């Protein structure tokens, strides 16, 4: 661990004074300098991201809902804290928190405060090599980063057939939760080959509640090759309460 810290110190020494925030490349170099152990990094959260420092995280925006008990919680608005588990020179785990504090132990290396934009892009790339809950934490931590438009990166990840399925699902969710236009979100559907992604797509676009979202759900309900996906699209159409959706479902039932 001492050698890893010395490598990071040397890395920081190359950054001009007043610009100590690590770039995505130097974040990667700092992480890769640790063969075994935990690497910690911290960055600013975007507005609306709340946490309690113990792992509970929620967002407050137009598309994300949160339970009534969360309305009673005190919103700690960051920072986002990420712990990367390293074994044999590979990152094998990612965990995130919002709020709270930590002090690096002897087995941990703290990279300190890093640029939100660079941290987000580093974590999205990392999500191409980790899976399961670690993929989810990497993507959501990136989505929580302050003042970053990640729509292009999320779109590329969703379309990347070589990326882990969980990473692609999480990228699709956060893309839908962001500011990307519904037409662009709908256009992704043609590139979603796995059943799980197309199923997840029906939920993601159902959260838009606009004309294009309803039209796309009707299209999926009519034309998807899997009956279960068509059923899922019809379920979300029924939940929407939209007159066009209800007429479409009524027409099916009265044929």
Predicted confidence (pLDDT) per residue in 109-165, tens digit: 999 999 999 999 999 999 999 988 999 999 999 999 998 899 999 999 999 999 999
Domain borders along the chain are: 2-178, 181-255
Give the pLDDT confidence score for residue 11 in this predicted structure. 44
Predicted confidence (pLDDT) per residue in 183-215, tens digit: 999 999 999 999 999 999 999 999 998 999 999
Give the pLDDT confidence score for residue 101 in this predicted structure. 81
Q: What's the chain look like in SS3?
A: CHHHHHHHHHHHHCCCCCCCCCCHHHHHHHHHCCCCEEEEEEECECCCEEECCCCCEEECCCCCCCCHHHHCCCCECCCEEEEEEEECCEEEEEEEEECCCCCCCCCEEEEEECCHHHHHHHHHHHCCCCCHHHHHHHHHHHHCECCCCCHHHHHHHHHCCCCCHHHHHHHHHHHHHCCCCHHHHHHHHHHCCCHHHHHHHHHHHHCCCCHHHHHHHHHHHHHCCCHHHHHHHHHHHHHHCCHHHHHHHHHHHCC
Alpha-carbon gap, residue 255 to 250, rounded angstroms: 9
Give the pLDDT confidence score for residue 12 in this predicted structure. 42
pLDDT of 35 higher than 90: yes
pLDDT of 229 higher than 90: yes
Give the pLDDT confidence score for residue 75 in this predicted structure. 83
pLDDT class of 46 with cuts at 50, 70, 90 = very high
Question: Considering the chain, what is the average pLDDT of its residues?
Answer: 86
pLDDT class of 241 with cuts at 50, 70, 90 = very high
Alpha-carbon gap, residue 138 to 32, rounded angstroms: 16
pLDDT of 243 higher than 90: yes
On whether the CB atoms of residues 208 and 217 are closer than 8 A, the answer is: no
Predicted confidence (pLDDT) per residue in 71-122, tens digit: 556 788 889 999 999 999 999 999 999 988 888 788 899 999 999 999 999 9
pLDDT class of 224 with cuts at 50, 70, 90 = very high
Give the pLDDT confidence score for residue 131 in this predicted structure. 84
Q: What percent of the chain has pLDDT over 90?
A: 69
pLDDT class of 63 with cuts at 50, 70, 90 = low
Give the pLDDT confidence score for residue 4 in this predicted structure. 47
pLDDT of 66 higher than 50: no
Alpha-carbon gap, residue 64 to 185, rounded angstroms: 17
Looking at residues 164-190, what average pLDDT do you find?
95
Give the pLDDT confidence score for residue 61 in this predicted structure. 61
Give the pLDDT confidence score for residue 8 in this predicted structure. 44
On whether the CB atoms of residues 123 and 141 are closer than 8 A, the answer is: yes
Give the pLDDT confidence score for residue 72 in this predicted structure. 55
CATH class (in words) of the domain with range 181-255: mainly alpha
Give the pLDDT confidence score for residue 107 in this predicted structure. 81
CA-CA-CA-CA torsion sign (101, 104, 109, 113) = positive
């Amino acid at each position: 661990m001492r050698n890893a810290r010395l490598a990071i110190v040397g890395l920081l020494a190359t950054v001009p004074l007043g610009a100590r925030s690590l770039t995505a490349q130097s974040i990667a170099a700092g992480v890769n300098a640790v063969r075994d152990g935990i690497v910690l990094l911290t960055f600013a959260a975007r507005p609306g991201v709340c946490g309690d420092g113990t792992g509970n995280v929620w967002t407050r925006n137009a598309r994300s809902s949160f339970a009534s008990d969360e309305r009673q919680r005190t919103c700690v608005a960051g920072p986002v804290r990420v712990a990367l588990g390293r074994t044999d020179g590979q990152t094998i785990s990612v965990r995130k928190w919002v709020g709270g504090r930590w002090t690096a132990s002897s087995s941990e290396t703290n990279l300190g405060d890093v640029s939100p934009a660079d941290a987000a892009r580093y974590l999205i790339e990392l999500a191409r090599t980790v899976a399961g809950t670690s993929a989810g934490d990497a993507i959501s931590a990136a989505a929580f980063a302050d003042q970053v438009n990640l729509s292009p990166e999320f779109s590329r990840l969703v379309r990347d057939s070589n990326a882990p399925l969980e990473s692609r699902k999480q990228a699709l969710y956060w893309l839908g939760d962001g500011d990307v236009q519904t037409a662009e979100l709908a256009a992704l559907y043609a590139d979603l080959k796995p059943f799980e992604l197309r199923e997840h797509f029906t939920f993601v676009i159902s959260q838009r509640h606009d004309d294009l979202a309803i039209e796309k759900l009707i299209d999926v309900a009519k034309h998807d090759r899997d009956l279960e996906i068509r059923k899922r699209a019809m379920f979300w159409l029924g939940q929407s309460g939209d007159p066009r959706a209800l007429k479409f479902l009524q027409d099916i039932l009265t044929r």
